[in-house]
Structure 1
């Protein structure tokens, strides 16, 4: 980053190449749409390029870049929530319901990943971002707090509330034949399983 600020024309491009895969992964998991994810990464990188001189080194460069891209994702989710929704035709509703109620052993990894993305997209933006960073990308609570610009306790609270909602939506992926209720333990375990299954679906 210092080289870029000092005028090295190639430094920022190299920085982007080094971090783009993880930035793309976070954007994709947060937004659930490849085109929107690409746009969010582009918006974030342009913002980082223009504001590179504001980087003070109080956090790792990758943390700073993730903060900018996550903010770009959250902005898109908030704008999306203000758009009117259009109901699916009845046959599409039926097909979607059928996919969501299929047994886990009848789904391939890609279908499971798609279902997880839909569930994440249905969460409030801040909860989805916290779960993506911690359960999917493997950031610590403290690192996620820096990226999300909030206290660690807030990150934990967002993850906890989001995991409860995911457990209600995706509990059948953990055990399709037995509903043993939503507990603090199984919602956290589900969050870890979401990360593993979600990453498998990208391969």
Structure 2
């Protein structure tokens, strides 16, 4: 289904808004349920994540003293394209670097079982307003403004009013995690 949607999207020369992507995906396959994420859907997990999940995780197969250091596989979300979760094994995630990759790795992300408080039910949004855009990305977008057709100018005027953040601020915030 994803391949069908991808091929359908590639047939379009220019796509200007998320709504256009939604429409193209819906046209490609009626079985897709499309839901655009809103700012309030992004929750602040930094407060409760360490209580439940490990920060650094080795794969189940490469954990232990019997595995040489150069053979250990660390969980790196940026290198993963496919996640498989199961209700029968909570906290265990099977990952693959691409959709059709034959090599997979299992990671036990949950902290040790035991007495943990229940997950918070009042998921606090991570952002009070719009999600900040990196100021360099915003500058690149603004350079392209003159090429945006008139019917999309309102959408981009709103985007251009969003808050920005500098690369240095993002770097330091991520270092604190």
| TM bracket, shorter-chain basis | under 0.3
In the superposition, the TM-score normalised over structure 1's length comes to 0.18
Kindly indicate whether structure 1 or structure 2 has the higher relative contact order, using CA contacts under 8 Å at least 6 residues apart.
1
Higher strand share: 2
In the superposition, the TM-score normalised over structure 2's length comes to 0.20
Higher helix share: 1
